[in-house]
Chain A
Amino acid sequence: MTPARLTRAFCVAVSLSIPFFAAPARAADESGAGNVISGDGEAFSWIILDELKPNLEHKYHRIIKLAGREAMLGAGCGKGIKKARENRPGHETFGFICCPLTKEEIDKEGLTVHPLAQEALMILVNKTNPVDDIPIEKVRAIFRGEIRNWKEVGGEDRPIVVVLRPHCPDRPGHWKTIVPTLEQFRQDRLDVKSEAEVVQRVSDFREGIGNIGATFIFSPDEKVKVVKVSGLAPTAENLKSGKYPFTQDLSIVTHGEISGDLASIIKDVRTSQEFRQVANKYQLVPRN
């Protein structure tokens, strides 16, 4: 066999073997970590994205893994930012936050905030509490500790137990729409680490009052109810009109350069019809 024929045979063999090596590599890529986009952070993340996920995964042929359900037990904006910072080629991540970040923090961390929606903070009381509506200033007075008995807001002669989840104390928004600083909050209160604990404490104490985001999903046996604030329910309409005062901003946050798939997914989340249906379901006000 001449050298020319040997070279030709080698080329044919290589070209024939390419499909056998390439196909498994692609299959591995599709099922491996490189194909996964992970998201973590505030509680609302899984509630919104969990409903959008099937369509997004189908459209982009990517696996979206969300740790949102666990966030109900305590993960928050810090966890969302941490997750976003893990983003790198082959390991695509994004986070969820419920606070508008400061410009300093955005610049310092190299973050990009993609606003999603405005969410109402619901005021919760125990189901046995006869109070259904509390004026705005009285809500604030209760949280400040100026009002300490339910009879002062038309309820029974019972002391008021304030439950607070004092998350993201250095960022604006959220509970700060009720009372601007922690120092101004009533000191003899029950502090908790998750929205689920807020609900639990208000369920336990007949005298309890607390606040949680509108995307929280109640279980049937929880003994809490949402009260109106100055006659206003925490609806999208009242949020949009600016009448309902207690709100927080929900956003997706990313770090550095993001892949085309992730950018498209975020864009779809923000603008898709499905997202608007979810927002409508939880009385959210989309930012786009």
Chain B
Amino acid sequence: MLFPRTYRFRLVAYIAVLLAFLLAVLAFSYHDSRALILQQAENNISRVAQQIEGQLEYEARDLHARVKMIRDNVPLTEYLFIASSLDTDAVAVRELYKRQFGWLPADRVVLLMKNGRAMLGAEHADVIRALRAHHAPQKRLEQQFYFYGKNGLELVSVAPVNYRSQYLGVVAITAVVGDKWMNATRQLSNGHLIMAKDGRIILTTLGNKWMGRAFAPASNAVRADDEEYLVRQIQLAGADASLPTLWFALSRAELTQRINRQRNQMLALAATGGLGILLIGFLVLRNFSRPLGRLVTVIKEVSEGRFPDFQETENRDEIGYLSNQFASMVRRLRDKQEEINKVHKQLEQLATTDALTGLYNRHYLYELFPKLYSEAQRQGKTLTVILSDLDKFKQINDDYGHQAGDQALVHFSRILKDCSRISDFVFRTGGEEFLILVSGDIQGGLTLAEKIRATLEATPFRYDDSPIPMTASFGVAQTETEDETKDSRSVLYSVSSRADRMLYAAKRAGRNRVVSGDAGLIRASRA
């Protein structure tokens, strides 16, 4: 398996994928936005130039509304009528204008009568000249035009003044398209403005070093020193060719700076996002993966049959609840397992031991013998079987009762266990018959049998404080070489049969003795 199929690994992988995705999106959007900004900047210049044209049109409309407001003022027309028809001093008109329209935003105001007399603004000779050049009194039309006067480029708004249907003259107000206007417009357009006349810059927001420089845009761009600007002309409605031209300019350096600013913002965003994702990942691992890993380890141990000590956690979230429930379950399982083991042990004991004497029973002999025999064969050893039978046991039963008989059996069993080595196995195979399985040759078996016999003879059984003498007979036999070809059950049958014959021989010989036979030779330990 190439990758571990763990929750932790998957989580780390997801976070890594998310991080990579974030970075990829940011990289893509940065790359895309860079191209977009460059492209939009190109389009934007034309759009901003159009916006400025729109703004100029709006200002022109506003200027015209103001000139009409002056034109429609009844006291002023009365003053003009009286002053022009009676040829009075123009001071009255000036006073009234100041009182009525002193607040009105206008750079210059001229009230020019039809006879050529300027009632107001006589000092603005350039405006009056422009009015005479542009305005045809006989047409009596409202009009607007640009002209280049002593204040620079100016928009003039003209309205004829009538008094009782009698044409008196015109009122004209101007708005200078100069420094102030260019700086205000520059703030709104986020670019620069250039005014050029006869191929030279006469006014600009670019700074003094650009003033007076030659202005000849090539491919809609101008360059000076290290600076380059993209430019678009702003059309002035009604302006003739002799007037200055107005241009909107956007710096390439500013554009690059804007892109870099965006890149830095994106990098900062990526770094913040990445750190955020890592932090979330860390918290997820810490709060989910670690307790889950611990849970998985414990589950694995439980599945293998172990019940580790799984402490409850103090966390009260879902995983904490799960862990605590699982710990409780493990604890209960462990208790149950211990109970089962105990019962199992008891059952095993019941199945393999004799209830009265506590010695192994015949069933266990059949189960154990093949193992011991196989082990002895591997080690090149033999097994010795000692068969024992209490002498005149029926008489004890008859004389003292079955309870005394049972206690006599217990007494003999205790002697059997006391005399046996730890490697010997003692079985109760019948009522008063016992079998001792000794690992080793017959000599060891004879010695053990004699020891038991002697001990029993020397240790009378006491019943109701009365000593009751007891003896037992022993038949001893060992497994033979020819047994090797047989299966273990046959071997047991064979050796047991031989030992039984020796026991029978011991009984016939007068009891309380050990008899063994080796290759047909019968030997008695006490005769």
Residues of A within 8 A of B (CB): 148, 158-161, 188-190, 201, 203-208
Question: Which of B78, B79, B81, B88 contacts A159 (CB under 8 A)?
Answer: B88
Q: Do A188 and B86 touch across chains, with their CB atoms under 8 A apart?
A: yes
B89 touches A206 (CB 8 A): yes
Report yes or no: B86 in contact with A159, Cβ–Cβ below 8 A. Answer: yes
Stretch in contact with the other chain, from B90-98, B240-248, B455-463: B90-98
Binary contact track B68-105/A, C-beta < 8 Å → 1, others 0 = 00000000001101110111110110011000000000
Q: Is the beta-carbon distance between B88 and A206 smaller than 8 angstroms? A: yes
Known contacts A204-B95, A204-B96, A190 near B88 by CB under 8 Å: no
7 new A-B pairs (CB below 8 Å) besides A159-B87, A206-B92? A159-B86, A161-B86, A161-B88, A201-B92, A203-B95, A204-B95, A205-B89
Task: Give the complex CA separation of A204 and B88 in angstroms.
Answer: 11
The answer to whether B86 touches A206, judged by C-beta atoms less than 8 angstroms apart, is no
A205 pairs with B78, CB closer than 8 A:
no
| Chain B residues closer than 8 Å to A189, beta-carbon distance | 82
Assembled-state Cα–Cα distance A24/B79 (Å): 58
Task: Closest A residue to B79 by CB, please name it.
Answer: A204
In the complex, residue of chain A having the shortest beta-carbon distance to the beta carbon of B81: A188
Please tell me if the beta carbons of B92 and A188 are within 8 angstroms of each other in the complex. no
Asked whether A158 lies within 8 Å of B82 as measured between CB atoms, the reply is no
Alpha-carbon distance A188/B166, docked complex (angstroms): 13
B96 and A188: CB pair below 8 A? no
**Nearest-CB distance from A195 to chain B (Å)?**
16
Q: How far is the CB of A200 from chain B (nearest CB, A)?
A: 8
Provide the main secondary structure of the chain B interface. helix
The number of chain B residues with a CB under 8 A from chain A is: 14
- Closest A residue by C-beta to B95: A204
A203: nearest chain-B partner, CB-CB: B95
A184 to B25, CA, bound (A): 92
CA–CA, A161 and B85, complex, Å: 10
B85 cross-chain contacts in A, Cβ below 8 A: 188
B82/A190 in contact, CB under 8 A: yes
Residues of B contacting A208 in the complex (Cβ-Cβ under 8 angstroms): 92
**What's the least CB distance linking B45 to chain A, in Å?**
52
Contact of A158 among B81, B89, B95 (CB under 8 A): B89
Chain A nearest CB from B106 CB (Å) reads 21
Q: Which of A148, A188, A206 contacts B82 (CB 8 A)?
A: A188
Nearest-Cβ distance from residue B165 to partner chain A, whole angstroms = 15
Q: Are B78 and A206 within 8 A (Cβ)? A: no
A207 to B89, Cβ gap below 8 A? yes
Are the CB atoms of A205 and B92 closer together than 8 Å? Answer: yes
Whole-angstrom CA separation of A158 from B91 in the bound complex = 13
Q: Roughly how many angstroms separate A161 CA and B95 CA in the complex, as a whole number?
A: 16
Q: How far is the CA of A190 from the CA of B96 in the complex (A)?
A: 14
Q: Can you list 12 A-B pairs, Cβ within 8 angstroms, ordered by A? A: A158-B89, A159-B86, A161-B82, A161-B92, A188-B81, A188-B86, A189-B82, A204-B96, A205-B88, A205-B92, A206-B88, A206-B91
In the complex, what distance in Å separates the CA atom of A204 from the CA atom of B89?
Answer: 10
A7 to B92, CA, bound (A): 84
- CB proximity of B95 to chain A, nearest CB, Å: 5
Give the distance in Å from the alpha carbon of A134 to the alpha carbon of B86 in the complex.
Answer: 21
Which residues of A lie under 8 Å from residue B96 when comparing CB positions? 204
Residues of A contacting B86 with CB < 8 Å?
148, 159-161, 188, 207
Contact flags B5-23 to A (C-beta < 8 A → 1, else 0): 0000000000000000000
Taking the nearest CB of chain A, how far is it from the CB of B425, in angstroms? 126
Residues of B with C-beta under 8 A to A207: 86, 88-89
Q: How far is the CB of A208 from chain B (nearest CB, A)?
A: 8
4 closest A-B pairs by CB? A204-B92, A159-B86, A205-B92, A204-B95
Residues on B with beta carbons closer than 8 Å to the beta carbon of A204: 79, 91-92, 95-96
Q: How far is the CA of A56 from the CA of B91 in the complex (A)?
A: 47
Minimum CB–CB distance for A60 against chain B, Å? 43
Q: B78 touching A190 by the CB < 8 A rule?
A: yes
